[in-house]
Structure 1
Amino acid sequence: MAEQVDPQWVRGGWGYRVQTQDEAFRAIMRIVSLAPGRQYVWRGSTDRRHRVRSSLLRELIVDEAEPLPDELLVRQNELAILREARAWGLAPEVGPLASDLHLLAHLQHHGLPTRLLDVTHNPMTALWFACEGEDDVGGVLLAFDVTGLPTYPASDPQQQTGGLPSEPLAWGLRRALRLSALHAQPFLVRPTVPDARTAAQEALFLSGVVPRTGPGGGIDGLPIQLGRPPGKEKLTVLFGEGRRQAGRPTKLPFCALVVPPDLKATIRNHLTALNRRRSVLYPDVDGFRDAYRGSHVDLDLGAVRSVVSAHDDVDAGTR
């Protein structure tokens, strides 16, 4: 996989480097309360050098010097993956009438490459992901203003009654992508019946058609209208201590809060007070397996009750 071009969040004018845990929490609240009625979703990356890209777009990039894959190439690969997933027999896992959109969300949940981008309603969850590991490199918390964007349930029987009687399972995703192209905006996908992990992370997906011209700002493959970046000075005013002052941005379609490497562990410790920890955010067997393999589980042999070898365990019976 090709090495990504550093998005340079701060230098590009869309990012702000927090210096303390207090500043990180204050910055989140300043974004949330910038203007009434705005809605944000959040994404955390433990490596600030990672650009905003879907897993499918990342997989299709061979050379960073070449133009990004366009919508046609992404769509061709998406349909091929969906076709193979159905041939593999995965669709019945999510229901006998699983639409393409529903199956796509299912594949994304299990780590397959899709155009869906994992985000959350909860900024503290995303902040935990920004600080969860790789303490030798800075993390980043990304905020997206999604006010007014269309939201589609991953599974909706009405999606199958549209204008494509020959392909009822494909219509919902095709319609979402067509409207995304016409209005040059992304859309949200909401899990219909969230499992334990999705519910714990308050997760949903951000997606959209690959635009003909990129929005810049370190975002690739999403039709987000950014406009001019607020710049360091306005973000400094917005996130500064004390009462709000003049000079802050009036709107913030996107913002990247960069967390220095030496601040990650401190923020992780503070987030435990908000019940943000690995066992809570990954409350399933896969989460326990990954934590065990990643040395995040400390086995306390001293807490195990008195052990008797099976060779000497006469109390267990002989027959």
Structure 2
Amino acid sequence: MKITVYDGATTIGGNKIYVEENGRGVFFDFGMNFAKYNQYFEEFLRERATRGIHDLFYLDLIPKLNIYREDLIPSDVDVSSCPKLNVEAVLLSHAHLDHCGNIGLLNEKVPVVASAMSLAILKAMRDSLRSNIGSEIAYHSQRSFSDDDRILKSKNYGDYIGRDFICTDTICDDLKDFLCKIPGQDEPKARRKLAPGEICCIEEKELPFEIKAYEIDHSIYGANAYILYGDTAIAYTGDIRLHGKNAEKSHEFIKEAKNASVLIVEGTRASRDEDYNVSEDLVFENCLKSVEESKKLVIADFSPRNFERLETFKEIAEK
């Protein structure tokens, strides 16, 4: 078994960790490295979508590998001499962009393994946000070459192409229906539809390793940790957290992970003093006190997709 960290070491997020055995492999996450991206881009200055992976490839924002969608490779990007990995899946820990934000660049035949909640979030993000090539995870519009084969253009016709999804828990009918359609496609005047990929549970799919997923605590719901079994056992925490309302689930994973031979752990706050750690219960109490003491309008601001914090302020508002 071989582990290669293509990104995510000595930085926050950007995880791209490849595990290979007998010529078959999977990635733990395939996220955006914001520290590197911010050296070149900002909110309204992004990579040139019409150049496919060109900018990201030559700025070393993605690994120089032969694993990307062919319709994103312009003529002046040569990936033929790059290592061609046999990527059979991405094991997604959660739907924050520093863990999933580059999955959309991968060959469309590479499936995503994730919790039902994470799959729903990925699809909702694709439906509702302005598309860029890296975030086209749930589905994408096929690119074609213009007269200048260095320039790519999106097709405004034909079906969107869905990526295969492998769910680590139960897929209900409503979720499957949501994953298989785009908003408005059943309208009489709809121009495009979604051609969904395969959607199945992890028990139904043959993968290179035995994979066990564990729900853990995080600010975004649906976060998974994984234990992967091959010649040896590897535990991958993703962004594990111990101070939210699902902390007991993280502790359950920790108990199971003790028997793994290799631990790949998130360490953003590994050096934080223990007494500095603030629980979500304390956040609720402090925010409730501030709101109760205020005589004016209170505006709460928190990160996107922090559903636990959203529920905190919803409960405060109802009080």
What TM-score comes out, normalization by structure 1 length? 0.22
Structure with greater helix percent:
1
> Which structure features the higher share of strand residues?
2
RCO greater where, 1 or 2, for CA within 8 Å and sep 6 or more? 1
Larger Rg: 1
